[in-house]
Amino acid sequence: MIAHIFEDLCNGCGSCVNACPTHVLDPSPAGGPPVIARLDQCQTCFMCELYCASDAIYVGPDQRGPEIVDPETVRASGALGQMRRDHIWNAPPGDQEPLAEYWRLGPLLMEGAQISARRYALKHPPIEPAAEPASPDKAPATASSR
């Protein structure tokens, strides 16, 4: 699951917000780092980390629950940007080889998004709107008033 956003590295571009298939992140209202708004919907797909050109996001490998990390340990480990480097994400324009197999993620991401949406709906049922009280000037029509 997404574990930490390094505010000092984030440029506020919003690429991670747009890349997340389950809408875990919300943009910052002030144009700063995004807000982890729905951690329980994270499916550990690493898309936010891959699309972060600033290497400001660390996604932990445990998909079963949140992970407590020490940001400075993560920073010192060299893990920031490792996913991008491993998958040659910054390949020269026109070089499609690094992305040749990413199309296979589509059905998995869709299934994960659907599972996440169902799980979220179970935990957060919709609130039914309250019935609007009858206004005294809008009395129900009766047979004599027609």
The pLDDT value given to residue 94: 66
The pLDDT value given to residue 142: 53
Structural domains of the chain, ranges and CATH numbers in brackets? 1-93 (3.30.70.20)
Helix/strand/coil (H/E/C) assignment for every residue in the chain = CEEEECCCCCCCCCHHHHHCCCCCEECCCCCCCCEECCHHHCCCCCHHHHHCCCCCEEECCCCCCCCCCCHHHHHHHCCCCHHHHHCCCCCCCCCCHHHCCHHHHHHHHHHHHHHHHHHHHHHCCCCCCCCCCCCCCCCCCCHHHC
The pLDDT value given to residue 134: 61
Q: For the chain (length 146 residues), average pLDDT per consecutive 10?
A: 91 90 89 90 88 91 79 90 76 63 63 72 73 60 51
**pTM of the predicted model over 0.85:** no
